[in-house]
């Protein structure tokens, strides 16, 4: 089931992305972008990355695309509504796209996925997952995930609806933001290090704050630029 869903969502994501390129109307492009981004979010959910999937929905689908359509609606006249590409532009963008594809695929093929899989399997209690050999280690779709969790009977008791490994990334992410890495610092095997004691990560709070301040500065700058005309009037008066 998880595999089938993966292929379904991957197909929809790719098809939506192609439709974005092929459609001529800007609003339809935005719509296909929504389809593509939503299925990307669903792919994140398949990977048990629930927080990242929700963020994808909130920021890209709920935020960015709505703003995009809003902008199109405000300026929806003349040349911006329908986009006709000249052959030269098609060739240019095709070259750029192919170059990017080559870059991405070379990166994908250069990664040692088998080593990665063993690492994943170790951290995910390998024996409990039947098919973890792919990029989506636990096949998880809410509602029918239990079809894959036949091992749950041998565990003592199964409490709650979700399996313990599913849908619970938020707390770990929040703790990691503050510098507490449950997966690294508090692993039992981390005790026998050459350092003697486990090392605590530094966290991402400071970079996060720097980025937010940066975005705030950008926002203020945009507001300043948008108000520039009115400032001239004030000075003249």
Per CB under 8 A, residues contacting other proteins are 25, 27-28, 31, 34, 38, 48, 50-51, 53-55, 57-58, 61-63, 65-67, 69-70, 72-74, 76, 123-125, 142-148, 155-162, 164-172, 175, 180, 182-183, 185-191, 198
Rounded Cα distance, 4 and 144, in Å:
13
Specify the DSSP element, H or E, that contains 23: none
Rounded Cα distance, 99 and 232, in Å:
45
Minimum CB separation from other proteins for residue 94, in Å?
26
Minimum CB separation from other proteins for residue 105, in Å?
29
User: Is the distance from CB of 14 to CB of 153 less than 8 angstroms?
Assistant: no
In the complex with other proteins, the residue whose CB is nearer, 62 or 94, is 62
Minimum CB separation from other proteins for residue 16, in Å?
13
User: Is the distance from CB of 148 to CB of 172 less than 8 angstroms?
Assistant: no
In the complex with other proteins, the residue whose CB is nearer, 10 or 198, is 198
In the complex with other proteins, the residue whose CB is nearer, 230 or 235, is 230
Minimum CB separation from other proteins for residue 67, in Å?
7
In the complex with other proteins, the residue whose CB is nearer, 89 or 130, is 130
For residue 82, report the phi and psi dihedrals to the nearest 5 degrees.
Answer: -110, 140
| CA 87 to each of CA 17, 18, 29, 92: distance values in angstroms, whole numbers, following the listed order | 20, 18, 19, 9
Q: Sort 95 into a burial class: Cβ within 10 Å, 0-12 / 13-18 / 19+.
A: exposed
Minimum CB separation from other proteins for residue 92, in Å?
29
In the complex with other proteins, the residue whose CB is nearer, 87 or 143, is 143
3-state secondary structure of 198: coil
């Amino acid at each position: 089931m998880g595999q089938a869903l993966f292929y379904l969502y991957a197909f929809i994501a790719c098809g939506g992305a192609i439709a974005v390129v092929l459609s001529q109307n800007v609003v339809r492009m935005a719509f296909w972008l929504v389809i593509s981004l939503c299925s990307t979010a669903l792919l994140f959910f398949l990977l048990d990355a629930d927080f990242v999937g929700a963020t994808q929905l909130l920021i890209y689908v709920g935020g960015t695309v709505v703003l995009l359509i809003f902008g199109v609606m405000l300026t929806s006249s003349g040349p911006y509504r329908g986009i006709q590409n000249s052959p030269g532009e098609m060739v240019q963008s095709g070259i750029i796209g192919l170059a990017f594809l080559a870059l991405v695929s070379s990166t994908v093929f250069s990664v040692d996925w088998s080593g990665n899989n063993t690492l994943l399997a170790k951290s995910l209690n390998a024996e409990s997952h039947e098919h973890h050999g792919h990029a989506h280690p636990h096949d998880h779709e809410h509602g029918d995930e239990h079809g894959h969790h036949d091992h749950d009977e041998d565990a003592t008791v199964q409490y709650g609806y979700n399996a313990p490994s599913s849908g619970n990334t938020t707390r770990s992410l929040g703790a990691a933001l503050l510098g507490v890495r449950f997966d690294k610092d508090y692993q039992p095997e981390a005790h026998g290090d050459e350092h003697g004691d486990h090392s605590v990560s530094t966290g991402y709070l400071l970079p996060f704050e720097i980025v937010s301040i940066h975005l705030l500065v950008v926002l203020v700058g945009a507001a300043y630029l948008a108000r520039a005309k009115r400032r001239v009037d004030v000075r003249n008066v």
